[in-house]
Amino acid sequence: MEMESWQQEQPVVLRTWTMESPHNYANNCHEVSVFLCHGATYFEVEFDEKCETERRYDYLEFTDARGAKTRYDTKVGTEKWPKKVTFKAGPRLQFLFHSDSSNNEWGYKFIVTAYGLPDVAVSWGLDLQLLVSRLMGRLASRSMALKSLRADDLLSEDSAQKQAEKVIIPSQEQVFAECSQKRILGLLAAMLPPFKSGSTMSLINLEQILPLMFQVVISNAGHLNETYHLTLGLLGQLILRLMPAEVDAAVAKVLSAKHSLFAAGDGSAMPDGWKTTHLLFSLGAVCLDSRVGLDWASSMADILRSLNSSAQWHNVIAAFTDHCIKQLPFQLKHTNIFTLLVLVGFPEVLCMGTRSVYMDNANEPHNVIILKHFTEKNKAVIVDIKTRKRKTVKDYQLIQKCGQEGSDSQTQLRQYLQHFVLISTHLLQTSMDSSYAEAVEATWVLSLALKGLYRTLKIHGFKEIQAAFLQSGLLKLLVKKCSKGTGFSKTWLLRDLEILSIMLYSSKKEISSLAEREDSELEEREQDQDVEQTVVGPVDLEQNKLDPLEGLDEATKICFLMTHDALNAPLHILRAMYELQMKRTDSFFLEVQKRFDGDVITTDERIRTLAQKWQPSKRLRLEEQSSKAVDTDMIILPCLSKPVLCDKATEETNPVAQKLITNTESDLQLSYAKQRRTKSSILLHKELDSRSKKSVRDYLYRVNEATAVLYARHVLASLLAEWPDDVAINEEILDLSGPAHMTYILDMLMQLEEKQLWEKILQKVLHGCSENMLGTMALTACQFMEEPGMAVQMRESKHPYNNNTNFEDKVHIPGAIYLSIKFDSQCNTEEGCDELLMSSSSDFQQDRHSFSGSPQKWNDFELPGDTLYYRFTSDMSNTEWGYKFTVTAGHLGRFQTGFEILKQMLSEERVVPHLPLAKIWEWQVGVACRQTGHQRLKAIHLLLKIVQCSAQSDCDLTLLKPLWQLFTHMENNLCHDMAKPGILLPLHRALAELFFVTENRVTELGSLQEYLLALNTEDHLHRCTAQALKNIAAISLAINYPNKSTSFWNV
């Protein structure tokens, strides 16, 4: 359709409004309304014939978009107030009604109609050509100018000086182009017609634009300038809407001058789109080798995935992918690696323009687009696709959009299953270390191939593709790979390791591996020295340091804090200066003014020496290095057949008061996942900062190895979760070193996968395991429960605490999933004034808990993660006893794995007959005697299960003697504290239930007398008999019934 015909279109109604006042209207009115309709060219107002106002004093006033005002009063139908009025300046019309304080009439009623031209898809190509041509010309000329400047840098100093003397003043058009490039690109993208699968648009008016855009993208691939990145995104949208042959022509036009034309890999005729596909994959590979090319590589992968989902591009994308994948693992070219990366899925990168899903606090999903990601703050700026509102959110609230991969991509993964198996098998069998020339690329390809297997298993399951694993021997290789450690902290997320690998990748090998090792050793030595320096001195050095504000009156404190905030001056330096000025406030302020140089306060040796008295001790800057949970190689210890006997049960120093057996995993898992994501992001940011300017291929080899190990574990977990019922799990099929190895694998997978998936894996393993493996697996699980599972730390204040206290510290227990905090019954502070604040984050914003006041207000609670931050503050008057709390780690070590395995085994009817219940009973009694807290309660839970399912001679019930002594001790204490209100402790209840069930069991077996004699000593039996006779005698005397028991009392 031509422009002339478009302009001759008749206007249509876009929107209508009805306005009406009360009849009659009120006095003293001043009402304003605005009618706004985008696209409207004029407004028409039609008044009701009854409209009437007081002449001159009450009126209606309309203001059009140009600012022209028109006023109406008196009565409609006159020359001054026609029934229908047209305002020809759109798209905005303002209405004002005004009335004075006296006299009123009927009022007004009218209808406003907005008219505009109909929406038609015309002339967008002309506008696109005009805008894009100007923009691309500007970008291309700017790119050429940058290149010429780089060449000019090689000139001599004299010529460079002459160049500098020539000052070029930019024109208004150039300034406008520089400032508006991003907005113009956004407008151009908005002008594109909606994409429909199978449909294309014509290249008319785009012959000159496409080559310009390709030239800009090729010349600036991986550039930090966001305009070039946006150009790539717009180019991807244009390619998606064009025919492959037309885009190939534009590519040939750009590259024919300097490059030979691309050829198909097998020598056959090139399909349409081959040149473009080859160029896009090659550009993606170039971006991989750039330290700043992550966003570009991610965007290129998104474009290629979109093209793969398009009907006209799918065949050529699939053909090129097939060509590259078949060359692996023998030709480790960058293009082949990038192709594999696109096929198996690029890691989730929050770069500008990425589509994502934002989960709000109500767990409601919102489709959003990323505008900016601040990695150091773990935040992202997003815009909601539906509401168009901008918002800053935490990056852990953003999840990768589900369903982004179409059925074509899923089919492709299934198609390349054999290639993934071949690549993984070959590379796992090849022994190579970091000295191998292409070790980095080989380990990278291995991790990507394993990722492809993992994603294929998630889509299709193991049953359909089991032959590929069993026949190739890949299953045995996976078990061997999984048994290796990553060598990295367990805090690292797999996604962040993948991103680290891409961002650090460099194919350059100028720096020798020896030099790299020397650098890394030097770094480690420096870090070790830092750690040693920070840990010198007593542990409570921080608490012994004086508070800089201690001993100051309230006015001086306020002055100190104001100076600290205004000048960013350390409080201990200010206190030293205050003391040196003989505690005179006026002299102190003069000294501060004299020493402040506009940036910092200058100090001398005398001030610094005195300030050490109040200077807080250094934190453990690298605390994680001395106490972090590192993923190490699997060490399988020999399974002990018998535990060490226990003569006395360990007494509870801090009895659990709330629950019998806590089940906090489900409640705390989400919060823990958020914390782990934040910590992993911090680790990623630190690694990129410390290694961004070095050749780090040795380190990169370790990163890729760690990624491969983690994906191997995920693959094995997926295999076991979908294991076929008709295939047995034995030592031969998995190449296990023994039955105990399977228990260690279950422990490893429990640390990796979510609880529901792990429980499914456990059920499949127990169902498919050969009978001769079950006994050893159960005893290994018992051995797991013997390991110390609880790490306990205690913190307390002075009793009573001091006034003007401001103390902050943390409790860190590596490997804990959650921390259980229990307060002493004496905890007490001045209510509302002295407060203990606790949180899982150093800024005290996440999982925040505050405590103040009487002991009844100090309730025990559980905190997700492995670190507790706490801060105690008190004012200048009144003190109480203070605080004391115990922090206990949850899920530390292998205890929980052993408990879950045994609990499931004792619940399976098929498994129980094959278990050595007598040995398990012996182990669990020992665990219940030695462990404390929740661990002891879980061991008692297993003892109850064994008692209920065991036969007559399975268990030696006399082994319960140490627990019986603990129980009788708790009973005696309860008798002495009868006046004290409260319920029985969980341990007391658990032991009561255990001995009640056991007593019923031995009664059924007819061995109650032997059982009681074995549990009690002769002295205890004598005391109980004597007490029974006393009770009988007391009752007999009360009812005046003499008998043998009363004869002892000579009554």
Examine the pLDDT at 730 and tell me if it is beyond 90: no
Give the sign of the dihedral formed by CA 634, CA 638, CA 641, CA 645: negative
Instruction: Answer whether 407's CB lies under 8 Å from 309's CB.
Output: no
pLDDT by residue (tens digit) across 352-372?
A: 777 888 888 777 888 888 888
Nearest CA-CA partner of 881 in 938, 808, 798, 956:
798
Q: Which residue has the higher pLDDT, 161 or 785?
A: 785
Tokens describing residue 127 = 């506008």
Chain-centroid distance of CA 473 in Å reads 35
CA distance 193 to 188: 10
Distance from the first to the final alpha carbon of the chain: 126
792-890 shares the fold of 349-399: no
The pLDDT value recorded for residue 151 is: 44
Q: Which residues pair with 109 in a beta bridge?
A: 20
Examine the pLDDT at 902 and tell me if it is beyond 90: yes
Q: Which residue has the higher pLDDT, 229 or 750?
A: 750
The pLDDT value recorded for residue 843 is: 80
Q: Which residue has the higher pLDDT, 310 or 836?
A: 836
Q: Which residue has the higher pLDDT, 541 or 349?
A: 349
Instruction: Answer whether 1005's CB lies under 8 Å from 952's CB.
Output: yes
Q: Which residue has the higher pLDDT, 791 or 979?
A: 791
Long-range (24+ apart) CB contacts under 8 A made by 598-603 are: 600/567, 600/568, 600/569, 601/567, 601/569, 601/573, 603/573
Nearest CA-CA partner of 823 in 847, 857, 846, 789:
857
CA distance 704 to 699: 9
Examine the pLDDT at 590 and tell me if it is beyond 90: no
The pLDDT value recorded for residue 695 is: 53
**Would you kindly state where each structural domain of the chain is located, as residue ranges?**
3-116, 128-151+173-344, 349-399, 407-506+691-766, 543-611, 792-890
Tokens describing residue 995 = 């001995």
Nearest CA-CA partner of 820 in 708, 952, 657:
657
The pLDDT value recorded for residue 167 is: 47
Examine the pLDDT at 289 and tell me if it is beyond 70: yes
The pLDDT value recorded for residue 188 is: 74
The pLDDT value recorded for residue 829 is: 93
Q: Which residues pair with 17 in a beta bridge?
A: 112
CA distance 806 to 836: 10
Nearest CA-CA partner of 484 in 426, 454, 437, 443:
443
CA distance 1019 to 1026: 11
The pLDDT value recorded for residue 1032 is: 85
The pLDDT value recorded for residue 5 is: 40
The pLDDT value recorded for residue 648 is: 85
How far lies 963's CA from each of 563, 1010, 1014, in Å? 62, 17, 13
Instruction: Answer whether 864's CB lies under 8 Å from 917's CB.
Output: no
Instruction: Answer whether 695's CB lies under 8 Å from 517's CB.
Output: no
Q: Which residue has the higher pLDDT, 733 or 670?
A: 733
Q: Which residues pair with 886 in a beta bridge?
A: 794, 822
What value does the mean pLDDT take over residues 717-730? 87
The pLDDT value recorded for residue 408 is: 58
The pLDDT value recorded for residue 495 is: 85
CA distance 213 to 458: 39
Please state whether the peptide bond connecting residue 363 to the residue before it is cis, i.e. omega within 30 degrees of 0: no
DSSP per-residue string spanning 925-974 = HHHHHH--HHHHHHHHHHHHHHHHH--TTS--GGGGHHHHHHHHHHHHHH
Examine the pLDDT at 564 and tell me if it is beyond 90: no
What value does the mean pLDDT take over residues 238-266? 73
Query: Across all residues in the chain, what is the average pLDDT?
Result: 77
Examine the pLDDT at 457 and tell me if it is beyond 70: yes
SS (H, E, C) 102-118: CCCCCECEEEEEEEECC
CA distance 848 to 870: 10
Examine the pLDDT at 659 and tell me if it is beyond 50: no
Q: Which residues pair with 861 in a beta bridge?
A: 821
The pLDDT value recorded for residue 786 is: 78
Confidence of residue 836 (pLDDT cuts 50, 70, 90): very high
Helix (H, G, I), strand (E, B) or coil at 990: helix
Provide the percentage of residues in the chain whose pLDDT is more than 90. Answer: 14
Q: Which architecture does CATH list for 349-399?
A: Roll (2.30)
Question: What are the backbone angles phi and psi of residue 792, rounded to the nearest 5°?
Answer: -125, 135
CA distance 522 to 875: 48
Q: Which residues pair with 40 in a beta bridge?
A: 116
Q: Which of 99-108, 265-274, 453-462, 716-725 has the lowest mean pLDDT?
A: 265-274
Q: Which residues pair with 810 in a beta bridge?
A: 869
Provide the percentage of residues in the chain whose pLDDT is more than 70. Answer: 76
Q: Which residue has the higher pLDDT, 152 or 348?
A: 348
**Is-above-0.75 flag for pTM?**
no
**For the CA atoms of 119, 122, 127, 128, what is the dihedral angle to 10 degrees?**
100
Q: Which of 217-226, 365-374, 847-856, 1029-1038 has the lowest mean pLDDT?
A: 217-226
pLDDT by residue (tens digit) across 516-556?
A: 444 444 444 444 443 333 333 333 434 456 778 777 776 67
Question: What are the backbone angles phi and psi of residue 556, rounded to the nearest 5°?
Answer: -65, -35
Instruction: Answer whether 527's CB lies under 8 Å from 625's CB.
Output: yes
The pLDDT value recorded for residue 131 is: 56
Q: Which of 454-468, 669-683, 777-791, 848-862 has the lowest mean pLDDT?
A: 669-683
Exposed/middle/buried for residue 117 (C-beta within 10 Å: 0-12, 13-18, 19+): middle
Instruction: Answer whether 874's CB lies under 8 Å from 834's CB.
Output: yes
How far lies 768's CA from each of 722, 723, 733, in Å? 11, 8, 12
Confidence of residue 885 (pLDDT cuts 50, 70, 90): very high
- CA 667-671-675 angle, to 5 degrees, is 150
Nearest CA-CA partner of 340 in 444, 426, 496:
444
What DSSP designation does 664 have? -
The pLDDT value recorded for residue 655 is: 58
Q: Which of 312-316, 435-439, 674-678 has the lowest mean pLDDT?
A: 674-678
| Beta pairing, strands 84-87 & 40-47 | antiparallel
Domain over 3-116 is classified CATH 3.40.50.150: no
The pLDDT value recorded for residue 199 is: 63
Give the sign of the dihedral formed by CA 143, CA 149, CA 154, CA 155: positive
pLDDT by residue (tens digit) across 175-194?
A: 666 677 777 777 777 777 77
Where residue 1011 falls (left for φ over 0; alpha for ψ -120 to 50; beta otherwise) is: alpha
> Among the CATH numbers 1.10.3720.10, 3.30.360.10, 3.40.30.10, 2.60.120.290, which is that of 792-890?
2.60.120.290
Examine the pLDDT at 166 and tell me if it is beyond 60: no
| Residue 908, number of CB atoms within 10 A of its CB | 15
Examine the pLDDT at 511 and tell me if it is beyond 50: no
The pLDDT value recorded for residue 418 is: 85
The pLDDT value recorded for residue 815 is: 66
The pLDDT value recorded for residue 98 is: 92
The pLDDT value recorded for residue 593 is: 75
Q: Which residue has the higher pLDDT, 250 or 262?
A: 250
Examine the pLDDT at 580 and tell me if it is beyond 60: yes
Confidence of residue 79 (pLDDT cuts 50, 70, 90): confident
What value does the mean pLDDT take over residues 956-985? 76
Helix (H, G, I), strand (E, B) or coil at 272: coil
What value does the mean pLDDT take over residues 932-958? 81
Q: Which residues pair with 835 in a beta bridge?
A: 873
Examine the pLDDT at 852 and tell me if it is beyond 60: yes
Tokens describing residue 639 = 């399974």
Confidence of residue 320 (pLDDT cuts 50, 70, 90): very high
pLDDT by residue (tens digit) across 696-722?
A: 778 888 899 999 999 999 999 988 988
